A and B are shown apart, each in its own frame.
Chain A
Amino acid sequence: MAAYEEIVKRYQQVAFRTAYVITRSAADAEDAAQQGFIKAHRALGSFRAGAEPRPWLLQIVANEARNRVRSAGRRHKLELRLAEDYRPGGAAPSPEAAAIASEDSTRLLGLVNALGDEDRLVITSRYLLELSGEETAATLGIPEGTVKSRLSRALIHLRARVEEAPGA
């Protein structure tokens, strides 16, 4: 049990954030992540020894999150936003450079949030959550090859919007 508690501790952040991206609700994401960890514990016997647990866990949590979206019958607005204390580049930039960088990020985030679900989920999973290709595939419930093609398409859509957006 202590070992499993350690697993929960190690992966709860990525599990919660993955569920949040899918459900767009912190409360639903918490429920989904919690239930996902409980289901994963029940299914430990089916887990292949030596395999990486992260994709397996994320797949279970993402399934729970999708089930909640389906059963809720309503859509939340994604509330991802920039951290207020973010400092671009790590070092102290000039106030003007920081403002421009922040403006760019805000605009880009707005465009990502406005993408269709399929594009938004693959881009958010792969880049914003920094999941691996295998983890993105597990999270979205699609083959890894499909992740690549879907990602490529989503980036083209996003780039087109970046070009259209004023000031991009």
Chain B
Amino acid sequence: MPELSELEARLTTLGRELEWPPTPNLQASVIAKIATQKVIPLPTRAPMRPDQWYQNRWAVVAAAVILALAAVVAYQPSRDTIANWLNLHTRIQQVPVLPTPSPLPPGPLGVRLGLGGHSTLPKASAAVKWPVLVPSSLGQPDEVYLQFPPDGPPQGEVTLVYSARPGIPTSAQTGVAVLITEARGAVNTDFFGKTVGPDTTLQLVTVAGHQGYWIEGAPHVLVLIDAAGNPRYETLRLATNTLLIDEGGTIVRIEGDLTKDQALQIAASLA
């Protein structure tokens, strides 16, 4: 009759003799799922006066989405967590249902999309502290926009606009084929806010050794963030497929009805 201590010893030995089913490699699947489920909420404080707030339909929708998000997903990483994540200066939140799209308001492109003032490549390059990157695969931009605080990020923001090219149609979301937005900032500043629904996927990508995200599928909601860190709700709109990369400290956002390969090719040709 075995004593309990003897039985315990036999059980421990037995555990070491067992043939367990092979442990699956969970690293890749877990990290990929975390990336697609990453939820980075926009601030809930309103940057506008109350009267403006209620007049802005998009702002009300956005607030509803943010509140719904808090209840449904219940995930609130700290700003530092986000900054350390990839430092792409982008807050991304995932929601079960996206707000209904609204037609873009009339007006010049720079106003409609919140791009700032019309500029040229030489003027914009001279105005910002970093070398503005131009994709050789697309050539010279058709239009260039520039904006600084209070609407733009602390060190400014340059947007290159491209009209339709072979294989790259005009996007219904922007009215142009490709938008390339570039900005730089300190670690904890954000330039973009994105609200992503269940039919949009986020993938980690690498372009010339730089990490980034490819956002693809159903349009997602984009809002630009001002120098004080407040979302500029007047710029809230639907965005199509987007590649976000960090090119040596310059955050480059490439948006268009592009395939992933097309976007990666554009990014790889930035110089």
**In the complex, what residues of A have CB within 8 A of residue B11's CB?**
108, 112, 123, 127-128
Taking the complex as formed, is B34 at the interface, i.e. its CB lies under 8 A from any CB of chain A?
yes
Q: Is the CB of B26 within 8 A of A20?
A: no
Q: How large is the interface on B (under 10, 10 to 19, 20 to 34, 35 or more residues)?
A: 35 or more
A86 to B17, CA, bound (A): 6
Q: Is the CB of A33 within 8 A of B77?
A: no
A92 to B121, CA, bound (A): 78
**In the complex, what residues of B have CB within 8 A of residue A127's CB?**
8, 11-12, 14-15
- Contact partner of A38 (CB less than 8 A), chosen from B1, B2, B23, B34, is B34
Name the interface residues of A91-115: CB closer than 8 Å to any CB of B: 104-105, 108-109, 112
**In the complex, what residues of A have CB within 8 A of residue B20's CB?**
17, 20, 80
A98 to B127, CA, bound (A): 81
Q: Is the CB of A45 within 8 A of B18?
A: no
Main secondary structure of the interface of B (DSSP, over half): helix
Given the contacts A26-B21, A109-B14, A127-B11, A12 and B77 also touching, CB distance less than 8 Å: no
Taking the complex as formed, is A69 at the interface, i.e. its CB lies under 8 A from any CB of chain B?
no
- Contact partner of B29 (CB less than 8 A), chosen from A26, A34, A80, A128, is A34
Main secondary structure of the interface of A (DSSP, over half): helix
Taking the complex as formed, is A132 at the interface, i.e. its CB lies under 8 A from any CB of chain B?
no
Number of contacting residues on A, CB 8 A?
A: 46
Q: Is the CB of B24 within 8 A of A108?
A: no
Given the contacts A8-B30, A130-B12, A29 and B21 also touching, CB distance less than 8 Å: yes
Name the interface residues of B79-100: CB closer than 8 Å to any CB of A: 81, 85-86
Taking the complex as formed, is A83 at the interface, i.e. its CB lies under 8 A from any CB of chain B?
yes
Taking the complex as formed, is B136 at the interface, i.e. its CB lies under 8 A from any CB of chain A?
no
Q: Is the CB of A162 within 8 A of B2?
A: yes
Taking the complex as formed, is B78 at the interface, i.e. its CB lies under 8 A from any CB of chain A?
yes
Interface centre among B15, B25, B75, by most chain A C-beta atoms within 10 angstroms, is: B15
A154 to B37, CA, bound (A): 42
Q: List 13 A-B contacts (CB under 8 A).
A: A9-B27, A12-B24, A12-B27, A16-B21, A29-B21, A30-B26, A81-B18, A105-B14, A127-B14, A127-B15, A128-B15, A159-B2, A162-B2
